[in-house]
Amino acid sequence: MAIGGKSRGPRRSSSVSYASTVTTVIFVSLCVLAVWMLIPNSVSSPQTTARTTIRATVTDTDGDIAFSGSNDEQPTKITEDKDKAVFEDNPDQLPDDAVKPDDDKTSESDDDKGKDSVVEETQRGLHGKESAEEREKQKQSETQISKESVLTQNQQTKQIIPREVEDNNKQTSNEETNKVNQEENNNNSNNNKDSSGDQDQIRAVEKQQVDEKPKERRGDKTKKKKKKKGDDKSNKKMKETTTMNVKPKEYDPERLKNDVTEMEDEPKGNKQQQNQEQQRANASFSDETKDKQNELLNTMQTDTLPSLLKTSTNQETAEKDIQNEGQNQESQQQNESTTGDSLDNSIPKESTELKKTWKSQKIQSDNEKERRRDESDDKESFYGYKWHLCNHTTGPDYIPCLDNLKALKKLKTTRHFEHRERHCPEEGPTCLVPLPVGYKKPISWPKSRNKIWYHNVPHTKLAEFKGHQNWVKVSGEFLTFPGGGTQFIHGALHYIDFLQQAIPNIKWGKRSRVVLDVGCGVASFGGFLFDRDVLTMSFAPKDEHEAQVQFALERGIPAISAVMGSQRLPFPCNVFDLVHCARCRVPWHIENGMLLLELNRVLRPGGYFVWSATPVYQKLSEDVEIWKAMLALTKSICWELVTIKKDKLNSIAAAIYQKPTTNECYDKRPENNPPMCDEKDDANAVWHVPLRACMHRVPINQVERGARWPANWPNRLQKAPYWLNRSQMGIYGKPAPQDFTKDYEHWTRVVSKLYMSGLGISWSNVRNVMDMRAVYGGFAAALKDINIWVMNVVNFDSPDTLPIIYERGLFGIYHDWCESFSTYPRSYDLLHADHLFSKLKTRCKLQPALAEVDRIVRPGGKLIVRDESDAISEVENLLKSLHWEVHLTFSKDQEGILSAQKGDWRPTTYQAVI
């Protein structure tokens, strides 16, 4: 008994020890598993700090409930992502929840890492090594997910509405859940087969496995959620890139409009429909699992929809721009087709045979200043051209060719008023002229003839010097012009009628249509001659009589800044019907009458010279001597003194002379003084040609220009000059009379059908107009019924057609647009350039030319350009860099048209002083 008892004692002790050991192992395992259970679920939602309960219900492939689990989690400290490098070698051998999603930004301590390794070892001990078959299934599952993700990307790229993307995500989520369920069942069966030992231990392990599976699935879902978010971002970028690379013209505006409307309504109108479809597809999911999926889909929709809306909005904006441009083009084409003169059916280009039949100022002038094109490879971007204000003492009144101080300092003498003549810089300036302080939109004609804004021409010296003679007066914020002058204090209209009574044959507005006013002052004479249908070219020097020409232009009266000094005036010979000089202090009689002989050159044979100056009616010794000298001079040049008429109201008198119409008087002179000019001296050559004290013979051949007086106005406007004969080739290659007629018909159609309505120009605000390249003057002729005047410019290297312009009752001037024009800033309301810039840029740069355009045009003024397409493009870029508003650009068959408007913009920096 004793032995037996002793023998059983050790056995019982061994059994107890073994049971204790097993219990300890199970307890430690449970503790380790408990710790492991806490670690993967230690990150709580960032939106809550309260206790969280997660339940998951997973269905098998038949739709039956496989298992359900729950786990209570306490909120824990947020940890960082694990180092991905640890898992890069054998990622397939790791549990699914080993890799945390990218958006799970948590921190991890060294102790946590150690715990993870213990958990991994325990898992391997409990579950054993995965079979090759299970790994293969897992790889196939991941491959299927990858393929479906690619499919989802392609569908998102092709479609704007992400509804199909959501459906694909639903299907993918269901398939993944089923595969996870199947894998869990396989794992459970394997664990049951491989496990041995105490049944309590096996049940505890199985219970723990059941508890940990939802965590694995939650890790899987989190990882899949991360992947889907990444796919959505990738799809978003791909869609934006694809959309931006497609030309806007490939989109249908109506489709875009519908797409945008559908996308705007979808978050509201279609949200309920999406939820219902989602509920039907996921009926076996628990409520909270559905909420998770809804949250994911809403996130996808939130991430994708704004970019699509933004892209579609940009597309719609682009489509609207294209539609507007198309409408402008259609409007332009419609206008052109209405006129019967579209760009491809316009007047022909200049004939290449012109040099054989037409002269130019470039060929004629003795001292023509050579111009060479700059051959440098300066490819500076026009659009980004840097503009500066002109750094000059004249400020807002800067005229580059008259204010060239550097050139003026080099003059050896000023005896012939050389300092008042043109001295242009070697290169045209590219600076911009500032606006006067307080500048306002000019007053419209005809009110502007009587008053202008003081701050637009803020000069008072002329008002102080000539105020008593009714030239100009300061009246508050205005400068007023009573309509008088030195010789007509009581009004210009009375003076004009006085001259008509003195010489009835003057016939204002009929026989006398084009007048030259020398020493014009503020040009009141020319301003009121408009009432008699007379055009007056007024000029005066930029001298101590401050800004008199600027006053005239601001009033809306034609004028240029010029002086009779050492060079010929920029007009052809025999073109003015009448020349006027009211109390002008020009010493006509000195230097063998050289200045008066220049007037003789430009005066039409049979035309009148009106001289109302103190030597005519005053008896001072100086005036008497001048009068005697003038009598002798006018007799020697064969001018007839028609009458000396006194004006009792103004207490003045006027001497009126007439130029001969034949050479008989010249041949009968006892002395050849002044002499007749050499036959080789061309009376039309004026560009940089010095004055000569000689006379040109009067044309007497009935087919020569000047041999006959033109038809009365307005008949002369539309009728080709008699001296244009069919044997002479016109500018466009046809006989000259036909060319003239075709040009007039062309511009009449273009102006009436396009310019009057198609360019957005309010012609009621237009008064001063310049045609920068007038050929026959057709553009100005087409505007004859509008209350404006046009300065026609014939380029010095173009065919000399300026005499034709004068013959038809218009006026103009020679000029080289590689230089500055002799006018004050802000002189013109509208500039018109027909095929100017394409020809100009072969000789000089366009930047200075456009800077000159900006200088001449008033704020709010317009520019119309018709030219070759490449020239139009270059001009457009320059105008945009000048902050002009381009209203219209249209090109067809290498020809284009542009309409633009100047604003008030000025640079803030000044040009560096050289």
Whole-number Å distance between alpha carbons of 81 and 771: 76
For 78, the token pair is 């947020």
Contact (CB, 8 A) for 805 and 814: no
* Fold annotation for 736-912: Rossmann fold (3.40.50)
Q: What sign does the CA torsion over 328, 330, 335, 336 have?
A: positive
pLDDT above 70 for 186: no
Mean pLDDT of 832-861: 96
Q: Which residues pair with 814 in a beta bridge?
A: 794
In the three-class reduction of DSSP (H, G, I as helix; E, B as strand; rest coil), residue 769 is classed as strand
Q: What's the pLDDT at 469?
A: 66
Peptide bond preceding 40 in cis form (omega within 30 of 0): no
- What pLDDT score does 528 carry? 95
368-372, 498-502, 703-707, 854-858: least confident range: 368-372
Question: Which of 735, 710, 739, 711 is CA-nearest to residue 725?
Answer: 735
Looking at per-residue pLDDT, the higher value among 494 and 194 belongs to 494
The helix/strand count (H/E) of the chain reads as 26, 19
More confident residue, 506 or 464: 506
Confidence band for 236, pLDDT divided at 50, 70 and 90: very low
Whole-angstrom Cα Rg for the chain: 48
Confidence of residue 392 (pLDDT cuts 50, 70, 90): confident
Token pair for residue 893? 């068959």
Residue among 679, 645, 391 at smallest CA distance from 499: 645
Q: What percent of the chain has pLDDT over 70?
A: 58
Sequence-separated contacts (24+) of 629-638 with Cβ below 8 Å: 629/589, 630/588, 630/589, 632/589, 633/588, 633/589, 633/593, 633/596, 634/596, 636/593, 636/669, 636/671, 636/673, 636/674, 637/593, 637/596, 637/597, 637/600, 637/674, 637/695, 638/665, 638/666, 638/669
Residues contacting 704, CB < 8 A, separation 6+: 723
Angle subtended by helix axes 199-245 and 2-38, to nearest 10: 10
Kindly report, residue by residue over 298-337, the tens digit of the pLDDT: 333 333 333 323 333 344 444 445 455 445 544 444 444 4
SS3 content of the chain, % helix, strand, coil (to 5): 45, 15, 40
Q: How far apart are CA 855 and CA 482, in angstroms?
A: 29
Largest CA distance in the chain: 185
User: Which residues, 6+ apart, have CB-to-CB distance to 541 below 8 Å?
Assistant: 417, 420, 561, 562, 563
Mean pLDDT of the chain: 74
pLDDT at 881 over 80: yes
Residue 758, burial from CB neighbour count under 10 angstroms (0-12, 13-18, 19+):
buried
Whole-angstrom CA distances from 737 to 706, 729, 745, 783, 894 are 17, 9, 13, 21, 28
Residue of higher predicted confidence among 422 and 123 = 422
Averaged over 467-479, what is the pLDDT?
81
More confident residue, 517 or 74: 517
Residue whose C-alpha is closest to residue 847's, from 460, 374, 451: 374
Confidence check: pLDDT of 785 > 80 = yes
pLDDT in the model for residue 459: 84
Token pair 């004609």: residue: 445
Instruction: Give the CA dihedral 376, 380, 381, 384, nearest 10 degrees.
Output: -140
Q: What is the tens place of the pLDDT at every residue in 141-171?
A: 555 555 455 444 444 444 443 444 344 444 4
Strand ranges (E), 392-529: 451-453, 473-475, 478-480, 514-518
Q: What is the DSSP letter of 512?
A: B
Cβ-contact 540, 602 below 8 angstroms: no
Question: Is the model's pLDDT at 587 over the cut of 70?
Answer: yes
Q: What integer pLDDT is reported at residue 545 of this predicted model?
A: 66
What pLDDT band is residue 494 in, cutting at 50, 70 and 90? very high
Cα–Cα distance, 69 to 718 (Å, whole number): 103
Dump pLDDT digits (tens) for 513-564: 999 999 888 899 999 999 999 999 999 998 766 688 999 999 999 999 999 9
The whole-angstrom separation of Cα 805 and Cα 781 is 9
Q: What is the reported pLDDT for 756?
A: 93
Average pLDDT over residues 73-91: 39
Of 419 and 347, the one with more pLDDT: 419
Secondary structure class of 701 (helix, strand, coil): coil
pLDDT of residue 276: 56
Question: Is the separation of the CB atoms in 29 and 118 below 8 Å?
Answer: no
Between strands 478-480 and 812-815, the pairing is unpaired
pLDDT of res. 143: 54
Query: Token pair for residue 699?
Result: 């044309």
What is the rounded average pLDDT of the residues 400-423?
A: 93
Q: Which residue has the higher pLDDT, 381 or 492?
A: 492
Looking at residue 19, its pLDDT comes to 61
Range with lowest mean pLDDT among 26-35, 61-70, 175-184, 611-620 = 61-70
Lowest mean pLDDT among 263-272, 361-370, 803-812: 263-272
d(CA 485, CA 372): 45
Rounded to whole angstroms, the Cα distance separating 191 from 725 reads 117
**pLDDT score of 63:** 40
Other CB atoms closer than 10 Å to residue 421's CB: what's the count? 20
pLDDT at residue number 35: 72
For residues 594-598, average pLDDT = 97
Q: Check pLDDT > 90 for residue 622.
A: yes
- State the pLDDT confidence band at 115, using cuts at 50, 70 and 90: very low
Q: Is the pLDDT of residue 443 over 80?
A: yes
Q: What is the mean pLDDT of residues 714-733?
A: 93
Q: Locate CATH 3.40.50.150 in the chain.
A: 488-668, 736-912
Partner residues linked to 715 by β-bridges: none
Q: Is the pLDDT of residue 349 over 80?
A: no
User: Looking at the predicted structure, is the pLDDT value of residue 225 above 70?
Assistant: no
- As given in the structure block, the two tokens for residue 484 are 């008088």
pLDDT of residue 358: 66
d(CA 340, CA 748): 11
pLDDT of residue 23: 77
The CA-based dihedral angle spanning residues 764, 765, 770, 771, taken in that order and rounded to the nearest 10 degrees: -50
Helix 2-38, helix 110-127: angle, nearest 10? 120
* Weakest-pLDDT range from 140-154, 571-585, 674-688: 140-154
Q: Please tell me which of 3-7, 69-73, 521-525, 712-716 the model is most confident about, judged by mean pLDDT.
A: 712-716
Peptide bond into 674 cis (omega under 30): yes
pLDDT at residue 823 is higher than 70: yes
Inform me whether the pLDDT recorded for 509 exceeds 90: yes
DSSP lists the bridge partners of residue 476 as none
Superfamily of domain 488-668, CATH level 4:
Vaccinia Virus protein VP39 (3.40.50.150)
Contact, 536 vs 525, CB < 8 A? yes
